[in-house]
Amino acid sequence: MPLRTLDLRGTEPPFDGVLPRPSDPGADVHDAVADILRQVRQEGDAALVRLTAELDGVDVADGVRVPAAELEAARAAVGPELWTALEVAFDRILAYHEHEAAVTPADLDEDGISVSHIARPVGRAGLYAPGGRARYPSTVLMCAAPAQVAGVGDIALCVPPASDGRIDVATLAAAAVAGVDEVYRIGGAQAIGALAFGTSSVPPVDVVAGPGNAYVAEAKRQVSGVVGVASAFAGPSEIVVVAGPEATPAFAAIDLVVQAEHGPDGLAWLVTWDPAVVEAVSEEVDRIVAGSSRRADLEATLATAGIACLVDSPARALDVVNTVAPEHLQLMVPDREATALVDGVLNAGAVFIGDWSPASMGDYIAGPNHVLPTNRTARFASALRADDFRKHLHAVRVTSDALRRLGPYVVTLAETEGLPAHADSVRRRLASLEEGAS
């Protein structure tokens, strides 16, 4: 199944009306998700048990929370090699988010008015790690690290159960490494509903984070406002590989397959200004897909979103990138060209530069978060970060001298807006200061 070629040579940007656009990822599941959320909100645990049986074919009637003993057993169950890999990855992810979160605005003190910036963590965070098609212990690490750095006190994790009703031991081991001991074996829109509304088993949270399928993403849309929804639409995986004439076809092809491996509804684009690259990479993709154990998932994604986009120049390649706004962007160009290309990237969740920087490194161990904006939300959103689990407030202190100097302006503005009490709150204080001075 070769990549479908889209020839944009001779076409001038903007490309918004030319490039294939993803369908609204929530349009076809909106009503179904709304019904699931209604059931969870009204019936709580009873709905979770029924929906898990109906949608996942799993009986969790004996309780949706994973017992502490099962979490403890995960360390021995996964073995020392995986445990160490999880620890190394989590330490690097944690260190990155500590560095990212350390930069805070300085207090402002001017003309007798001081303003302090104060960051406060949310009280409780709900994390979602996908399951079903694959296991994602790395997502547990990626979501838990910034929540911990933010200072969140209570962290709950929802994971879809396997057919035997249990959670994969690697995912439980990741929870143990990250210090998350509140784990629930529920998935899909019902898990998001449980986290948002609360049930007798699942206390409600303040923020929900973590990627998922279209149902999970649509559920997050619908509960936004009831809870905070961290990061923008984190849905099916996407990649755009920009490959110059010097790119290694085998590397470009495998990087396309990496994201297509997550299953249907994703996006895997090659963008190049060299027709020979299109042919070479397409052939290599075919070879990889034919021999993959996940061939069905790869073919499903590539059939709808496997595109080789041929453009006139590197500049036009960036025009395509900034229009698509992909979750992952791979720049497979020589180092001497990479800096200029990166400077031109306006819309992307994460950028990986050069032959030795595959997105897989970012998925697991580079440090920055792999929970990234998809479906063009990179136009306005960013990777999951500690700030997604914090709110910011400011504390204002005004001296009496500052009130004397600046208060009359407040009186004028408040009266202009027809808010006499606002004006009087200052006017009375000014009068008090005058009385004290006389």
Contacts of 178 (CB under 8 A, 6+ apart): 90, 140, 141, 144, 145, 148
Which residue in the list 218, 238, 284, 327 is annotated as catalytic? 327
Regions of the chain short of the pLDDT cut 50: none
For domain 30-75+121-231, the CATH architecture is 3-Layer(aba) Sandwich (3.40)
pLDDT of residue 26: 63
Report the C-alpha gap between 214 and 233 in whole angstroms. Answer: 9
- Residue whose entry in the numeric block shows the structure tokens 């590989």: 241
**What are the boundaries of each domain within the chain?**
4-24+235-367, 30-75+121-231, 399-437
Using the Cα atoms of residue 269, residue 143, residue 225 and residue 217 in order, give the sign of their dihedral: positive
- CA angle, 383 as apex, 377 and 388 as ends, to 5°? 100
pLDDT of residue 354: 92
- Tell me the pLDDT tens digit for each residue of 180-197: 999 999 999 999 999 999
**Active-site residue 327, yes or no?**
yes
Report the C-alpha gap between 100 and 76 in whole angstroms. Answer: 33
- Tell me the pLDDT tens digit for each residue of 399-437: 999 999 999 999 999 999 999 999 999 999 999 999 887
pLDDT of residue 416: 97
112's tokens: 């007798």
User: Around Cβ 398, how many Cβ atoms within 10 Å?
Assistant: 16
Count of CA atoms in the C-beta half-sphere (13 A) of 231: 31
**Active-site residue 422, yes or no?**
no
pLDDT of residue 258: 87
Which residue in the list 30, 328, 394, 435 is annotated as catalytic? 328
User: Around Cβ 399, how many Cβ atoms within 10 Å?
Assistant: 12
**In CATH terms, are 4-24+235-367 and 30-75+121-231 the same topology?**
yes
Whether the Cβ atoms of residue 297 and residue 263 lie closer than 8 Å to each other: yes
pLDDT of residue 256: 94
pLDDT of residue 27: 66
143's tokens: 């979501």
pLDDT of residue 104: 66
pTM over 0.85? The answer is yes
- Tell me the pLDDT tens digit for each residue of 341-350: 999 999 999 9
φ, ψ of residue 269 to 5 degrees: the values are: -115, 135
- The closest alpha carbon to 353, from 375, 332, 369, belongs to 332
Report the C-alpha gap between 410 and 412 in whole angstroms. Answer: 5
Report the C-alpha gap between 375 and 358 in whole angstroms. Answer: 21
Give, in order, the Cα–Cα distances in Å from 409 to each of 272, 291, 306, 389.
59, 73, 60, 37
> Can you state the percent helix, strand and coil of the chain, rounding each to 5?
50, 15, 35
pLDDT of residue 133: 64
pLDDT of residue 22: 65
Helix (H, G, I), strand (E, B) or coil at 202: coil
pLDDT of residue 364: 95
Tell me the longest C-alpha to C-alpha distance in the chain.
Answer: 91
Report the C-alpha gap between 182 and 156 in whole angstroms. Answer: 5
Domain 4-24+235-367 is classified in which CATH homologous superfamily? Nitrogenase molybdenum iron protein domain (3.40.50.1980)
- Residue whose entry in the numeric block shows the structure tokens 């978060």: 369
